Amino acid sequence: MKKEDFHKGQTVYLLLLCNAARGKHGEELIREATVTAIGNKYITVSPGYYSTNVRFEIENNFREHSDYSPEHKLFLSREEIVDRLEKEKLLCWFRDSFRIFSQSKDFSLTALREAKEILEKSEVEA
């Protein structure tokens, strides 16, 4: 994301984190917000469910400006969040499937080689 991707009045999406996410799952973690201001240091949004606005630091990869742990992550579209949540769910599945002490799954050597090859081809730069 870049500062130029935002304009006042635009609808953006927030992924709830930490305390804001407590007890919520899936779509409940996604909230709409409206861009209320674009400054040199911050993008300010109004989530609607808070009485105050939330600011995101432009120079710090749009991290929420807070003295505590961030409770929101900013996205331009709902699909970006849905994709991120699906990716996290798939990574958890893979992690759980390959635990040393897990006896619930038995993968063939051929399947493991194919999965490794597919994953190596699709590595994304962080």
Q: Give the tens place of pLDDT for each residue, 34-68.
A: 999 999 999 999 987 766 899 999 999 999 998 88
| Cβ contact 37:55 at 8 Å | no
Residues recorded for the chain: 126
pTM equals 0.77
pLDDT at 111: 84
Quick one: what percent of the chain has pLDDT higher than 70? Answer: 91
Question: Which position has the token pair 């999406």?
Answer: 13
pLDDT of 125 > 60? The answer is no
User: Terminus-to-terminus CA distance in the chain, angstroms?
Assistant: 14
pLDDT of 12 > 60? The answer is yes
Task: Give the bridge partners for 46, in sequence order.
Answer: 34
- For 53, 96, 115, 116, 117, the CA distances from 120, given in Å and listed in that order, are 42, 19, 9, 6, 5
Spatial separation of the C-alpha atoms in residues 23 and 31, rounded to whole Å: 15
Q: Which among 80, 77, 82 has a CA at the least distance from the CA of 13? A: 77
